[in-house]
Amino acid sequence: QVQLVESGGGLVQAGGSVRLSCAASGSIFSINDMDWYRQAPGKQRELVAGVTSGGITNYADSVKGRLTISRDNAKKAVYLQMNSLKPEDTAIYYCHAYLKPAPGLAFLNYWGQGTQVTVSS
């Protein structure tokens, strides 16, 4: 079974920083994209940042210049460094991976359980 486990959320003041981590474990043959999504109360889940297996990154306009995604392929891990946080960054942050569990199987979407980030003003 594949698992994505996030850590690093919490309560932080506006202007502060938080680093989120996500590690994939279990039967994993290949990982393609790894991403961070977030969902605020009453809003739809949205893509925050993504990174390909080759290290190409993309960001939502609202977080460019403040959040940085990185990845360690050897550890099957993805990170999100969040700086200059704003109250509107408050949300549950979800790790996502598009991966192939075994040779011969298709790439599938996997999600972590989410980690809460709360930014106080």
| Backbone conformation region of residue 73, classed left if phi is above 0, alpha if psi is from -120 to 50, else beta | alpha
State the average pLDDT over residues 41-59: 97
| Mean pLDDT on 80-84 | 98
> What is residue 86's predicted lDDT score, i.e. its pLDDT?
97
Mean pLDDT for the stretch of residues 78-104? 97
